[in-house]
Structure 1
Amino acid sequence: MRRRLISSTLAVVLVVIAVFGLSLVVVETRTIESSAKDGVQSEAVRLVGIVENRILAGEPVDAKSLNPQIAEDRYAVVRVPGRPEVHLGGHPRGKVISSVQDGDHGESVTVAEPRSVVSEQIGRTLLVILAVALLAVLAAVALAVRQARRLASPLTDLAETAERLGSGDPRPRHRRYGVPELDRIADVLDASAERIGRMLTAERRLAADASHQLRTPLTALSMRLEEIVATADDQDTVKEEATIALGQVERLTDVVQRLLTNSRDPRTGSAVDFDLDEVIKQQIEEWRPAYQAEGRSMGLSGTRGLRAVGTPGAVAQVVATLIENSLMHGSGTVTLHTRVTGNQAVVEVSDDGPGVPSDLGARVFERTVSGRNSTGLGLAVARDLAEADGGRLELLQQRPPVFALFLAQEMPPHPRREQIVI
């Protein structure tokens, strides 16, 4: 920006100098030439008067008496009828400016001045004009640099403020720069920072309150399920279902606890090294009855024995969201495929359904965006959970749909591959 301001100011000054400078050169040149002609003519008129007076007084008209009457850089010829010509001054070389004046008694005087004298005067004038123009350019550059610093520094500071605001630091800076337009932008940024700060505070308070309120009923529900498991020794089905429900409650409790922790300090992480196969196995066991009720099946393939880095409860929630999304919107067999790419473990969830509509492909992870009458929050929340521990959730293919969860991983020495159909 500084370069643009300096360049634009300098361009304006150069245009002004070019327009007015050329006009001034033309005017001064004509003025000097006109003044030279007037001077030669005045000199001729004066010499004619002197010659005429000497003739009337009977005095001699010669070079000795007339030389003191003419300037050093001029040349004159005096002609008197019946007398020889009188030459005054040195004969000029080259082009001259001359004037001829006649007297009342037939005498005439021719006065000439070398054009080089006029050219020298014009040259000196041009040098003066050029020096003034150069000073004007230097002054303009100095002024442009000063103005550029005055404007560029506040703009850089405002950009840093906006960047801080976008990176999650909503503290207002309360800096002003003495420029009304820039101060207005600073006012807007400070007001926005204060609003964002209030919104973040309210959001964290809401998350903390909700998490705190959910912990108590979840604890009570967990205790009731534990009692059911303890008293259902002779009813294997009831015990199995209660055990599964207890596992779900424990994972939900972990998620609530994580929300509560993040609401207090968003920078606190809970990522650990865990067995990715165990999480996937739990999700298949939990969702298998729902798929069987719909007449559908679940398949598991790919690399086994993988370990990943993340929050097990959050990863389970992400996988559960993808499986539920396939149950609601997909069809046929849903397949969970695990693989390794680079230093990441990947969990792919796909089915035989029609896939994601073309108009929703780029927006499928946005909140409130849904292909049906659902809330549109599931995939958005799942992506946030994945990114919270350094992973990512992506739509690799729209038709048939393939969603992939990427997690940092630790590769075992000898992973094995197998195909399992459930």
Structure 2
Amino acid sequence: MRERLVAAFVSLAVALVAFYAIPRSYDIAADIRAAENRKIERSIDLMALLLPEHDESGTITDAYLAGLLNQEERLEYTAADGSLVAAAGAALPELPSNIVMSRTLPDGSAITLARSGDFVEARVTRELTDLAVLGLGLLAVAVAAGLVMARFMARPFLELARLAKRLGSGGFEDRIPRFRVPEADGIGRALQSSSLALKDMLRREREFASNASHQLRTPLTALRLEIEDLTLRRDTPPGIAEDLGRALREVDRLNQAVSDLLDLARNQRMAAGTGTDLAEIAAGAVTRWRPAAAGQGRLLEARLPDSLPAPVPKGPVQQILDVLIDNALKHGQGTVTVRAADAGTHLSLTVADAGPRPAGDIFHRHVTDGTGEGIGLALAGELAESIGCHLGLATARKTSFILKLPIPVPARTASSAGQELTIS
């Protein structure tokens, strides 16, 4: 903005100087030449009155004529018969710009007065140089004024940009300063209004997330206690107790998912886990989803190393895998394959199927019918970002989702390069 304001000031100054200086330079040159012509004309008229008196006394000599001359002039006195009586001043070069005038005296003699065109043009050059210096001075003043005005005009907008950046990072401003620039002041008031509205909306959303979490945890806790009680009863058959144990673990996983989603709703970055085994998480997800895949007549396979530690929390990775496998079963085709690998620069979890690669921004929320369709992939992407990972689509023609995770620090463990295990 500052550069554009300075450029505008300089352009305006250049235009004004050009519109004034160019016509003025022609006027100055014409006025100087006209003044020199008038000066020569007055001088020769005066000499036409003086020389006849001195001609009668015979005192017209070269020295006498030299006393009548100005700078860069040539004066000649010619008798009636055309002979040169006296002359003063250096001979002038033949130039079109020379000013030459002659007068014929009553006795038939004549005087000729000439001024050098170079002298006249030198005077014109000096005047135009002064004009050019004045124009450059005006341009310098315009640049200085442009810099001052640009700084004055840009300061409130730079402050607004800083405040807008803080607003984008969650720093809501209760009071934004007023500015003397009306446009900036209008933007500031609109920004303050938006800041207050966003602050209130975020407060209400966090309250809703907290309330929803509390309301969900209460029945989940009661359900867990009921299942645990049924598991511990003596009259519960062992097979039923085993099924109840699996249900109990799913309730615990659901409770952890509620906590993770609450942290995500509060815009909190989930703490990195230590010792999380991606191979174990992926194997557990395949085991959970295999009955659903079999019910659709489809295969769910896993190709995993023996162990693949990652510095990420377990819960969000489980939820991301659940979303990706569920999406593959709902919208994909053929066999669903889950892979985990060390790619050198990062760790990767891949969920692929034989369906065509989806087009468009599939990680953007686009709920349209109230069923929740369109939320899953967007939620998975947000969960990945919250734990410092990235979820995206591979460039292959078939559908292949890749979750990229950081490598453990300080170094990869040797077990991450272990033999790949295939679960089918």
TM-score in terms of structure 2 length? 0.84
3-state DSSP of counterpart to 1:363:
coil
8 Å Cα contact 2:392/2:402 also seen in 1: yes
Q: Matches of 1:254 and 1:225 in 2, distance apart?
A: 17
User: For the Cα contact (< 8 Å) 2:166–2:172, is it kept in 1?
Assistant: yes
Task: Tell me the amino acid that sits aligned with residue 199 of structure 2.
Answer: G
CA separation in 1, counterparts of 2:279 and 2:178?
57
How much does 1:32 deviate?
1.2
Structure 1 regions of 5+ residues with no counterpart? none
| Residues 98 and 297 of structure 1: CA distance in aligned 2, closer, same or farther (over 3 Å) | closer
Of 111, 117, 120, the match for 1:109: 111
Q: What is the deviation of 1:223?
A: 0.6
- Alpha-carbon distance change, 69 to 46 in structure 1, aligned in 2, over 3 angstroms: farther
Q: Partners in 1 of 2:81 and 2:320 — Cα distance? A: 128
Task: Kindly state the Cα deviation for residue 221 of structure 1 after the two structures are TM-superposed.
Answer: 0.9
Query: Displacement, 1:163?
Result: 2.8
2:210 matched residue in structure 1: 208
* CA distances 1:174-205 after superposition (whole Å, capped 9, x unpaired): 24443233333333333333332222222212
Q: Provide the residue aligned with 2:291 in structure 1.
A: 289
Deviation of the 1:8 alpha carbon: 4.7
d(CA) in 1 for partners of 2:80, 2:399: 121
Match of 1:417 in 2: 420
Moved more, 364-373 or 109-118: 364-373
Relative to 1, partners in 2 of residues 1:370 and 1:233: Cα closer, same or farther, differing over 3 Å?
Answer: farther
Please give the alpha-carbon distance, in whole angstroms, between the structure 1 residues aligned to 2:13 and 2:385.
55
The letter of the residue matching 2:315 is G
Question: Which among 126, 129, 134 is matched to residue 127 of structure 1?
Answer: 129
Q: Is the 8 A contact 1:72 1:89 kept in 2?
A: no
Q: Partner of 2:244: helix, strand, or coil? A: helix
User: Which residue in 1 is equivalent to 2:392?
Assistant: 394
Structure 2 residue corresponding to 1:375, chosen from 370, 373, 392: 373
In 2: Cα distance, 1:373 partner to 1:291 partner:
22
Contact kept? 1:14, 1:137, Cα under 8 Å: yes
Secondary structure at 1:347's aligned position in 2? Answer: strand
Alignment CA distance shift 1:22-1:263 (3 Å): closer
Structure 1 contact 41–98 (Cα < 8 Å) conserved: no
Task: Report 1:332-351 matches (<5 A).
Answer: 332-342=334-344, 344-351=346-353
Distance 1:390 1:82, change over 3 A: closer
Q: Give the 3-state SS of the residue equivalent to 2:126 in structure 1.
A: helix
1:395 deviates by: 1.9
Q: For 1:126 and 1:100, how far apart are their aligned partners in 2?
A: 30
Contact 1:303 1:340 in 2 (8 A): no
The question of whether the paired residues in 1 share the 8 Å contact of 2:278 and 2:340 is answered with: no
Partner of 1:355: 356
AA in 1 matched with 2:86: H
Quote the Cα distance in structure 1 between the aligned partners of 2:371 and 2:396: 19
- Residues 158 and 61 of structure 1, relative CA distance in 2, 3 Å threshold: farther
2:21 — aligned with what? 21
Q: Is the 8 A contact 1:299 1:335 kept in 2?
A: yes
Count of paired positions: 414
2:74 and 2:272 mapped to 1: Cα distance? 106
- Quote the offset at 1:261 in angstroms: 4.7
Separation in 2, partners of 1:61, 1:197: 110
Instruction: Say whether the 8 Å CA contact 2:279–2:305 is kept in structure 1.
Output: no
Going from structure 1 to structure 2, the CA distance change for 1:296 and 1:240 (only over 3 Å counts) comes to: farther
In 1, the alpha carbon distance for the partners of 2:218 and 2:398 equals 42
Structure 2 counterparts to residues 117-156 of structure 1, below 5 A:
117-156=119-158
Q: 2:60 aligned to 55, 63, 69, which one?
A: 63
Q: Using the TM superposition, give the Cα deviation of residue 83 of structure 1 relative to its aligned residue in structure 2, in angstroms.
A: 11
What corresponds to 1:403 in structure 2?
Answer: 401
- Shift in CA distance, 67/394, structure 1 to aligned 2, threshold 3 Å: closer
Partner of 1:319: 321
Which amino acid counterpart does residue 253 of structure 1 have in structure 2?
N
Confirm or deny: 8 A CA contact 1:13 1:137 kept in the other structure.
yes
Name the CA distance, whole Å, in 2 between partners of 1:398 and 1:68: 102
d(CA) in 1 for partners of 2:43 and 2:345? 102
Give the letter aligned to residue 60 of structure 2.
A
8 Å Cα contact 1:79/1:109 also seen in 2:
yes
| Consecutive unaligned residues in structure 2, runs of 5 or more | none
CA distance in 1, matches of 2:246, 2:88: 128
Q: Which of residues 300, 307, 321 is equivalent to 1:305? A: 307
Paired with 1:40 and 1:144, the residues of 2 have a C-alpha distance of: 48
- CA offset at residue 104 of structure 1? 4.5
C-alpha separation in 1, matches of 2:227 and 2:395: 40
Counterparts of residues 176-325 of structure 1 (less than 5 Å): 176-231=178-233, 234-261=236-263, 266-267=268-269, 269=271, 271-325=273-327
Quote the Cα distance in structure 2 between the aligned partners of 1:176 and 1:192.
Answer: 16
Q: Which moved more, 1:24-33 or 1:286-295?
A: 286-295
Counterpart in 2 of 1:37? Answer: 37
Counterpart residue identity of residue 125, structure 1 = E
Q: 2:389 and 2:258 mapped to 1: Cα distance?
A: 20
CA distance in 2, matches of 1:213, 1:141: 66
Deviation at 1:262, TM superposition (A): 5.3
* Paired-residue identity, %: 29
TM-score (ref. length: structure 1): 0.85
- Structure-to-structure mapping, 1:44-83, within 5 angstroms: 44-51=44-51, 54=53, 60=57, 62-63=59-60, 70-73=68-71, 74-79=73-78, 81=80
Per-residue deviation at 1:367? 0.6
Deviates more, 1:160-169 or 1:138-147: 160-169
1:110 and 1:212, CA in 2 relative to 1: closer, same or farther beyond 3 A?
same
Instruction: Please state how far the C-alpha of 1:19 moved relative to its aligned partner.
Output: 4.5
3-state SS of 1:301 partner: strand
> CA-to-partner distance for each residue in 1:150-193, whole Å, 9 max, x for gaps?
33444443333333333333336624443233333333333333
Structure-1 residue corresponding to 2:92:
93
Q: 1:197-230 CA distances to partner (integer Å, 9 max, x unpaired)?
A: 2222222121111111211111111111111211
Residues 91 and 257 of structure 1: is their aligned pair in 2 closer, same or farther, counting only changes over 3 Å? closer
